A and B are shown apart, each in its own frame.
Chain A
Amino acid sequence: DVKVTQSSRYLVKRTGEKVFLECVQDMDHENMFWYRQDPGLGLRLIYFSYDVKMKEKGDIPEGYSVSREKKERFSLILESASTNQTSMYLCASSLRGGGNEKLFFGSGTQLSVL
């Protein structure tokens, strides 16, 4: 089974802190994604990567950055956390080709910024 592991299930940070969310997948997937999920807004794409050291902005990249130094790891960075970044963050991966529609999600990180 594909396993996508996110480093923390719950995280509490203070405004202005730099926050790192880590995601690791073990199925050699080329594609990796970061989404945030908010009530009533669904899943919104923050950043994605189709290859090592490659990154592309999604629909809401402001205030975030990413790093993909190794194929299995995709990190989301909040440069200076703000209260409006309180959300559930979901990492996902998929195989290259086939339109990357079959996403495998991690269990999510509920981030609270105080």
Chain B
Amino acid sequence: QKEVEQNSGPLSVPEGAIASLNCTYSDRVSQSFFWYRQYSGKSPELIMSIYSNGDKEDGRFTAQLNKASQYVSLLIRDSQPSDSATYLCAVKTEAGGYNKLIFGAGTRLAVHP
């Protein structure tokens, strides 16, 4: 069974700090990686995707990928209370001739004023 692992948290950071969320995956041939954000009582929404080793920046968010070490991370700069949510790491994997996403259990982030 291909797996995606995340620390469940909660990760607590003060407002304005950098939040660092990490994820490891087991399928060595995976090529596509995603971060979804899920507010309490709401559905997940895609916020970042990354396909190549290195960093990808989008506003206050930076996704980092290291395929050799099989980890992907999400950095949130200048964290705001509105960033408080659960962040789900997802990895695209192939099984039975189909591509599908495998989700981690998520890391709960709490940004306090």
- Interface on A for B, CB 8 Å cutoff? 35, 40-45, 48, 50, 56, 58-59, 90, 99-103, 105-108
Contacts and interface: CB of A to CB of B under 8 A. Distances in A.
Contacts of A43: 44, 88, 103
A111 to B, nearest CB: 15
B17 interface: no
Nearest to A107: B43
Given A48-B100, A99-B32, A101-B92, A108 B43 contact: yes
Interface residues of B, number: 25
Contacts of A35: 103
Nearest to A39: B105
B106 A100 contact: no
A90 to B, nearest CB: 6
